[in-house]
Amino acid sequence: QVQLVESGGGSVQAGGSLRLSCAASGYTDSTVFMGWFRQAPGKEREGVAAIQRSSGSTYYADSVEGRFTISQDNAKNTLYLQMNSLKPEDTAMYYCARAGTSDWRRWVGSPLAGNYYGYWGQGTQVTVSS
């Protein structure tokens, strides 16, 4: 059973930083993409950042480009999101997502699209105050 467990969320003032982690386990196929998504109350889910595991290619939403950095530790099966210069509009529940080789039929469009991913974590809350 695939498990994605996020951690590292919390409350921070504008301009501050947080690092989110996502530990992945229980999968039987190979990981191809991993991503971070967020959803604020009353808003649609938004793809924040994604990474292709083998190449390390990264993808960012325009709203976070230059402030957030996605990275991975393949030995630990852990995904990270370093968030700097946080703004109140970054306040949301942040979710980790995984796409393995068995999800290949989902890969239409950008890796920042939710349809790419077959498994999702439970989320970690990030709150940025002004």
The C-alpha angle with vertex 64 and arms to 62 and 67, in degrees rounded to 5, equals 135
**pLDDT tens column, 34-57:** 999 999 999 999 999 999 999 999
For residue 118, give the DSSP letter: S
Q: Within 10 A of 48 (CB to CB), how many other CB atoms are there?
A: 24
Any residues with CB less than 8 A from the CB of 28 and at least 6 apart, and which?
A: none
pLDDT at residue 29, as a whole number = 87
**pLDDT tens column, 64-122:** 999 999 999 988 899 999 999 999 999 999 999 999 988 898 888 899 999 999 999 99
Q: What is the DSSP pairing of strand 10-13 with strand 124-129?
A: parallel
